[in-house]
């Protein structure tokens, strides 16, 4: 699949990158090569193949969710003058 100059400029604008005219042809060739690879992948026959989230079908071992640090909230809040019901009061920044 080949891209014309207008399509490359549009892609550059959408991706917020600057492509000068000197490299426009090179970028177009590389983008076209990537799109050709995508076309090859889409042409592969995947009938009967179950979708999978990971090729090894493993599960992540999770640790137990236990408290490992003491709660110092009250000690820290004694250092602040602006506390209400256990919450820090901050100045309004958005009208």
Q: Is the pLDDT of residue 91 over 80?
A: yes
Is residue 32 a contact partner of residue 7, using CB atoms and an 8 Å limit? no
How many Å apart are CA 77 and CA 69, to the nearest integer? 17
Mean pLDDT over each residue of the chain, to the nearest integer = 89
Kindly give, in sequence order, each residue whose CB lies less than 8 Å from that of residue 9, ignoring residues fewer than 6 positions away: 19
Structural domain boundaries in the chain: 5-42
* Res 76 pLDDT > 90: yes
Of the listed ranges 5-14, 50-59, 62-71, the least confidently predicted one is: 50-59
Q: What is the pLDDT of residue 83?
A: 92
The pLDDT value given to residue 79: 92
Q: What is the pLDDT of residues 38-53, one digit of tens each?
A: 999 999 999 998 888 7
What predicted TM-score, i.e. pTM, was given to this entire model?
Answer: 0.50
């Amino acid at each position: 699949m080949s891209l014309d100059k207008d399509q490359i400029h549009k892609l550059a604008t959408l991706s917020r990158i600057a492509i000068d005219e000197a490299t426009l042809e090179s970028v177009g060739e590389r983008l076209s090569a990537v799109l050709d690879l995508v076309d090859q992948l889409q042409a592969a026959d995947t009938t009967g193949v179950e979708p999978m989230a990971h090729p090894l079908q493993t599960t992540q071992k999770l640790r137990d969710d236990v408290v490992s640090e003491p709660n110092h909230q009250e000690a820290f809040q004694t250092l602040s003058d602006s506390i209400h019901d256990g919450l820090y009061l901050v100045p309004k920044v958005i009208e």
